[in-house]
Structures are given as C-alpha cells and as structure tokens.
A and B are shown apart, each in its own frame.
Chain A
Amino acid sequence: MSIFRKKKKEENKWIKCKSCNETFYVEELEQNYWICPKCSNYFRISARNRIKITADEGTFKEFDKKITTKDPLEFSDLKPYKERLKDAEAKTGNKEAVVNGVCEIDSQPCVLSVMDFAFLGGSMGYATGEKIIRAIEKAIKLKVGLVIISSSGGARMQEGILSLMQMERASAALSMLAKKGLPYISVLTDPTTGGVAASFSMLGDVILAEPNALIGFAGPRVIEQTIGKGLPEGFQRSEFLLEKGFIDVIVERKEIPKYIGKFLRYFSENVKK
C-alpha cells in the first residue's frame, strides 16, 4: 500500500507537455506559469493555480465555497451524474466549476471568479451560474470591478434546461453591474466555447484572451460535420478572434494581472458611489 502511494506521488511530480511530449518537473512548470519551457505551449491550469498567478499574493479570500449542484434531474448517462460530480470534486478540490473570491490584482481590489476546466470541462450548471451571479452581486455590494477568467466547454448537459437558463441569468446580472458603472474584465482561456462563450464571457467591457486559446460558439468538430469539410488553420483561436474584432487584447499569461490592473484603473473613475 505504502509503495503504491509513494509511486503515485513520484509520478505527480512530472508532467508531460501535450504539444511536444517533453516531460517537466511540476516546480519547473509552476515557475514558468505553466507554459512549456521547450515549445511555449500553454498548459490548461486549475482554478487554484490560476488564482495563484493572478491575484496579489495573500489577498484572495474565497466566498460561496460550499455552493454545489444537487442533481435535480437525477441524470444518468453511461455513468450517473452524481458519480461524475464526486470524481470532479476529488480531482479539483472544488464543489463547482467556478471559484469565487475577493482579492487584489495589481493592487486593484476586485471580485475574481475563475472557472476550472478540470471540473466537468468547466461546464456551467445551475450552481455554477448561481456562483457567477453571486460574484457579480459581490462586486456591486463592494463597489469594485469584476474579473471572470473563463475556461469552459459550455452549458452542462446533465442539468438540461436548468443549465441553459444560466446564460440569461448571468447576462441579466451583468446588466445590473453595468447600471452601477462598475467595470467587468473578461479573460478567455483555452477553451471558452458554447453557452459560456455565448453569455457572460463575451460581455466584458474589455475582453482579454491568452494566446492560441480556442474560443467560439460551436465546437470545431460540430462545424466540420455540418459543413462537411475541414477548417482553416488558426480558426477559432484567439488571434483569429482578435482579427475578426471580437476580443480586445491577446495577453501572455504572466502579463494578465498587469493588464487587468490597467483596465480596472482606466475604468475606475466611473464608479458610482
């Protein structure tokens, strides 16, 4: 038993880059902002790690930690949804696909909401939506800006129509934030698609994106199947969206806090007391 445990721990120290297949020490990657030192590929990172490299050290205070889905449809496909949730929680340490907190970024106080792709593909269920709304409400209450970092495949199928409704709920809540003159910075990371892209992610006052992130409404495979041919290179990547006019700035991962800070400062005059 102890041997197995030790072995598992050893393995966890090494991570392979999916792009160049090179293996690296976790520490080495962490120091390099989870970017491959060899080929510069961006690793998808957990909400916790994202917060670590985004919020000013020691400032992040999580709230609404316990909000979670109760599987109201009692959904089951090849595996019961409840089991999928348990696995996701064990894997991420989160009870939902988004982590909320109050923090400072580049010395600017704000509410930060970070999605976790490792939690069921960052999919948005009704508790995820509720947490996004509560983050917006917290920003209104504290009269600070809102930052949401997205990484999500879209709405969560296992919650049916309840998940679809979150798109409208979150968008409506953003309208309440805008009425108070508070800024909302949306940061898109790989991937941001479906119902998350088609709601709060695309509604930022400014939209930042990491390089080469997949961003779009329909997934590339669905489009290929629909039109019956391959897709052009770079299609639905950050650079493509910048070119087409749908995002404001592509920002290197380590520069993201600096850019969030910039925009929070540009827009902070508009705060209505």
Chain B
Amino acid sequence: MLVLDFEKPIYEIEEKIDNLKKMANEQGIDVMDEIYALEKKKNEIIKNEFENLSIDKIIKIARHPNRPYTLDYVKYIVEDFTEVHGDRSFRDDKAIVTGFGYIDSQKVAVIGHQKGKNTKDNLYRNFGMANPEGYRKTQRVMKLAEKFNIPIVTFVDTPGAYPGIGAEERGQSEAIARNLYTMFETAVPIIVVVTGEGGSGGALAIASGDKIGMLEFSIYGVISPEGCSSILWRDTEHSIEAAKAMRVTAKDLLELGVIDEIIKEPLGGAHRDYLQASENIKEFINKGLSELKALSKKKLIERRWKKWREMTTKFL
C-alpha cells in the first residue's frame, strides 16, 4: 500500500491503534480509552487536512495508486455483472471495461476506464489510456444499451487517450469524435461519474451524459496540468499554477456549470473506504436514474440538447 507524504500522520496513528489492539488481545488490557482518543485525533487530523485540501494534494488524491477504479466500484455497486469485450474490428482494449448488470434490480450498461493497481497490471491496462478500439468498444455497448433500452453508467478516470503511433493509425480523433456524437444520440439515460482524473478528450469521450457527477477529490480538465505547464510556461515547474489557472477541481467545475453534482468522498478520500465511496456513488446514480427514467426518448434527447446547447453560454 502506498502512502502519500501528507497522509503519513494518519497512518502513523492507525499503526498505533493497531498495536494497542494487538496488545489488548494478547495481554487482555483495556485500551478502549486510548483507542478512542487516538481515533478522535486521527479524524481531526484528516478533517483539518481535507476540509481545505490544496490543489496539489487534490491532484495526488485523484491519482492515488490505491484509489478505487471502475471494477472496484462495479464490485460494490453492480450485481450480476458480466464484462463484454472487443470492438468487433481490431481487438479488445483493456484500458476501458464494459459490461452489463443490475444496480438495485435496475438493468445498467457499465462503461469505464480501468487503471492498474501495480506496474504489471498497469502495463496490461495501458495506465487507463485507451486506444481507438477502446472507444469503438464503448460505441458498440452504447448501441446495445439503446437497442434494449438499458440506461448507461460511466466511470471516468484516465490520464488521457493514448498518444501512440497505432492510435493515430487507427484514427484516435475519429474514434473520440464518433463517441461524442454517438453518446449524444443514444436515447437512454446516461449517468457519468468522474472518479479520478478526467484527462481531456479521452475522458470526455465517455463523459457526456445527462447527469454528470464528480467525486470530491477528482480532477477534470482540457489538458493535464503538466502538459499545460510545458506548453504555456515552457517548463514543467508550473503544473500547480497551471492547474489553478485552468480550474480543474470538482468545486470549480460545479461553479462553472459543467457538472451537476459533487459526490462526497469518505473521510480521507475514496481509497480509504471503498464501500462508503461506492455507496455515495450509487446514491448519485440512483437519484439520476429515477429522474431520467420518467422521460420519453424524445423528451430525454430534448433535455440533453438543451443541456449542451446552453452549457458555457452564460459566459458569452
């Protein structure tokens, strides 16, 4: 398990608590008061840190190696899940997972980026950076979902679409563009949850839904802070400044009218409590679905067009 610098005080206290518990077990001493005091102290530390988490730390949490990914959320939220594979044209892209299942007995199609938990896994998943076939797989699944009138839930967490020779040869830009187009036309409710990093077009390709939620400590932007720094500042030193200037946090995006809701994370971040993070996401999904399910296909697309037509126009 990887612990970030600013998380260390939290884990140090947790270690103390564990040791106390062990002692209590082995020697039969009552340590309840001590544990209680330490728990209280720990929660205070987390609260103080996370209530006003600075942008550099938000970025670190958004990219935390222990952060839950799509298949983790699926495990907690989706029942009877079956993954489906392949774009029927080139190959199966492991950086995006798709499948079908149930959320509280409501059928859903699931689409999400998938990062790896370790180096080996990350190589297999290409660090969650999809190639064109990944996006084309999602087009296939969106069309299937529409055919059988199944709402779509997407989980967004990618550094970006993969910039490689093969990706360009197979039309990365066409694949993303076609996703944006297809997603708009797919006449079933679409709920989007940005769970980690929303990296540019590669994120947007599966993120244009009727309801868009962002986990509290996720980020979403037009380019990575590092990329922005290297282009506009011509060095890599200004990524935090770039992130601030571009406004990439959930709070920023809610203010700018780009997302609908911020989904609360458990104390200390989603990676500290997968179950609670999943519960919060599930609540957001269910709320959105119950509102959108009542709409006819025609009304749904009308509503969707209104949403996109009006987005950002308040700044004109």
Question: Which positions in A face B, CB cutoff 8 Å?
Answer: 67, 69-70, 72-73, 75-78, 126-127, 129-130, 133, 155-169, 171-176, 193-195, 197-203, 215-218, 222-223, 226-227, 231-232, 235-236, 244-246
Q: Which residues of B contact A174 (CB under 8 A)?
A: 181
- Contacts A77-B242, A167-B201, A198-B172 given: A162-B305 contact, CB under 8 Å? no
Q: Which label, helix, strand, loop or mixed, suits the secondary structure of the A interface? A: helix
7 contacts across the A-B interface (CB closer than 8 A) = A73-B245, A77-B242, A126-B315, A157-B228, A169-B309, A175-B185, A244-B171
Stretch from B30-38, B107-115, B217-225, B265-273 that touches the partner:
B217-225
A162–B258 CB distance below 8 A = yes
B164–A223 CB distance below 8 A = yes
Inter-chain pairs besides A73-B246, A203-B178, 12 sampled, C-beta below 8 Å: A72-B256, A77-B232, A160-B247, A161-B222, A161-B253, A168-B208, A169-B308, A171-B180, A173-B308, A222-B227, A223-B165, A223-B168
B164–A226 CB distance below 8 A = yes
Compute how far the CA of A246 lies from the CA of B176 in the bound complex, rounded to whole angstroms: 13
B311–A169 CB distance below 8 A = yes
Determine how close the nearest CB of chain A comes to the CB of B307; give it in whole angstroms: 9
B165–A202 CB distance below 8 A = no
B56 interface residue, CB < 8 Å from A? no
The B277-316 residues at the A interface (CB cut-off 8 A) are 304-305, 308-309, 311-313, 315-316
Q: Which residues of B contact A78 (CB under 8 A)?
A: 232-234
- Contacts A73-B245, A77-B232 given: A162-B173 contact, CB under 8 Å? no
Determine how close the nearest CB of chain A comes to the CB of B76; give it in whole angstroms: 28
Determine how close the nearest CB of chain B comes to the CB of A264; give it in whole angstroms: 21
Compute how far the CA of A155 lies from the CA of B2 in the bound complex, rounded to whole angstroms: 35
B311–A194 CB distance below 8 A = no
Q: Which residue of B lies closest to A245 (CB)?
A: B171
Q: Which residues of A contact B178 (CB under 8 A)?
A: 202-203
Q: Which residues of A contact B258 (CB under 8 A)?
A: 161-162, 165
- Contacts A126-B315, A175-B185, A199-B180 given: A161-B208 contact, CB under 8 Å? no
Compute how far the CA of A127 lies from the CA of B314 in the bound complex, rounded to whole angstroms: 11
Compute how far the CA of A173 lies from the CA of B168 in the bound complex, rounded to whole angstroms: 26
Q: Which residues of B contact A164 (CB under 8 A)?
A: 200-201, 204, 221-222
Compute how far the CA of A126 lies from the CA of B309 in the bound complex, rounded to whole angstroms: 12
Determine how close the nearest CB of chain B comes to the CB of A43; give it in whole angstroms: 24
Q: Which of B204, B223, B242 contacts A167 (CB 8 A)?
A: B204
Compute how far the CA of A96 lies from the CA of B176 in the bound complex, rounded to whole angstroms: 25
Q: Which of B164, B172, B205, B256 contacts A161 (CB 8 A)?
A: B256
Compute how far the CA of A69 lies from the CA of B316 in the bound complex, rounded to whole angstroms: 7
Compute how far the CA of A130 lies from the CA of B220 in the bound complex, rounded to whole angstroms: 21
The B80-133 residues at the A interface (CB cut-off 8 A) are none
A171–B312 CB distance below 8 A = no
Q: Which residue of B lies closest to A171 (CB)?
A: B180
Q: Which residues of B contact A199 (CB under 8 A)?
A: 176-177, 180, 201
Determine how close the nearest CB of chain A comes to the CB of B201; give it in whole angstroms: 5
Compute how far the CA of A162 lies from the CA of B223 in the bound complex, rounded to whole angstroms: 12
Compute how far the CA of A172 lies from the CA of B141 in the bound complex, rounded to whole angstroms: 19
Which of B176, B200, B228, B312 has the most chain A CB atoms closer than 10 A to its own CB? B312
Determine how close the nearest CB of chain A comes to the CB of B300; give it in whole angstroms: 13
Compute how far the CA of A163 lies from the CA of B311 in the bound complex, rounded to whole angstroms: 11
Q: Which residue of A lies closest to B304 (CB)?
A: A172
B169 interface residue, CB < 8 Å from A? yes
B204–A160 CB distance below 8 A = no
A162–B177 CB distance below 8 A = no
Q: Which residues of A contact B232 (CB under 8 A)?
A: 77-78, 157-158
Compute how far the CA of A195 lies from the CA of B183 in the bound complex, rounded to whole angstroms: 16
B184 interface residue, CB < 8 Å from A? yes
Q: Which residues of A contact B233 (CB under 8 A)?
A: 77-78
B9 interface residue, CB < 8 Å from A? no
A176–B305 CB distance below 8 A = yes
- Contacts A164-B200, A169-B309, A246-B171 given: A198-B176 contact, CB under 8 Å? yes
Q: What 4 pairs across the A-B complex have the smallest Cβ distances?
A: A218-B163, A160-B246, A171-B180, A197-B173
Q: Which residues of B contact A235 (CB under 8 A)?
A: 165, 168
